[in-house]
Amino acid sequence: MAQSFRHPEIMDIVRRDGMVTVEDLAGHFNVTHQTIRRDLSDLAESGKLERVHGGAILPPVTGNIGYEDRRSINHAGKIDIARACVADLPEECSIFLNIGTTTEAVATALLSRRNIMVVTNNLNVANILAAADGAQVVVAGGALRRSDGGLVGTLTSQTISQFKFDFAVIGCSALDFDGDLLDFDILEVGVSQTIIRQARKVFLVADHTKFQRHAPVRIGSLSEVDSFYTDRPVPAALQDMCDEWQTKVVVADGD
């Protein structure tokens, strides 16, 4: 396959999965590792990718990826994560779901649940659960972020502070290898911090691509999280930290 045909497909794969490896691409295109390394170097030189050990990722950004693009990244992995998370949520409980495409997958997985209350600052979550007869849905007010249907700001935080949730299921835009949860919008971060304070238990849902992204604002730490649901094993050093913090790491593999 000519280089001009490989490059667009490589970009499609990295947008879907968040990362590509030399080994996987060589097998996919049935070419040598050296050929793939040249392809990735060419794409990196043009600013489309950033080389990392063994492969490449999308280049870091100071603003979040567009909502529709985020929905398409690792969609199957997010469904697996959502199912694993919902399996640990009991009947007859109160749940907060915040902004994010993975929390929207959790909302879809909750459709068959009975006698639950879901509070959210995500209009997409509210619309998904509008079809669930067994769910009482409460929308936290605030300033509408039209790009993704999120509600943020002081009013949102004030509304959330009136509740005490059994479970908060939250997402984030990026994860550092030291366990920090990161985001782009400082207004959204303030809301997320309020959610964590008002929850008896905190579940983080974040796929492996969040380790390949950077964001400037800190939400908190995995040390504040009871269970972390992801789709691939985390680095050994971070797993050790989670063990020390008593943060349970659940790797959803689709089984």
**Section 136-147 average pLDDT:** 92
Domain boundary among 19, 39, 57: 57
Residue 146 and residue 39 share a domain: no
Under 8 Å between Cβ of 176 and 219: no
Residue 1, pLDDT above cutoff 60: no
Mean pLDDT of the chain: 90
Distances (CA, A) of 55 to 19, 50, 63, 217: 7, 9, 23, 27
Residue 143 and residue 27 share a domain: no
Residue 108 and residue 158 share a domain: yes
Residue 181, pLDDT above cutoff 70: yes
Phi, psi dihedral angles at 34 (to 5 degrees): -60, -40
Residue 48 and residue 75 share a domain: no
Does residue 89 lie in a domain region?
yes
Q: How many domains does the chain have?
A: 2
Which range of residues forms the domain containing residue 85? Answer: 67-251
CATH number at residue 43: 1.10.10.10
Q: What is the DSSP letter of 213?
A: -
Residue 86 and residue 43 share a domain: no
Q: What six digits make up the tokens of 6?
A: 């490989």
**Section 113-138 average pLDDT:** 95
Does residue 62 lie in a domain region?
no
What pLDDT, in 10s, does the model give residues 38-72? 999 999 888 888 888 888 887 755 455 555 566 66
pTM: 0.76
Residue 7 and residue 128 share a domain: no
Residue 185, pLDDT above cutoff 90: no
pLDDT grade for 26, boundaries at 50, 70 and 90? very high
What whole-number distance in Å separates Cα of residue 217 and Cα of residue 232? 24
Residue 88 and residue 173 share a domain: yes
Does residue 198 lie in a domain region?
yes
Residue 98 and residue 32 share a domain: no
**150-152 and 135-139: which strand pairing?**
unpaired
What pLDDT, in 10s, does the model give residues 68-97? 566 667 788 999 999 999 999 999 999 999
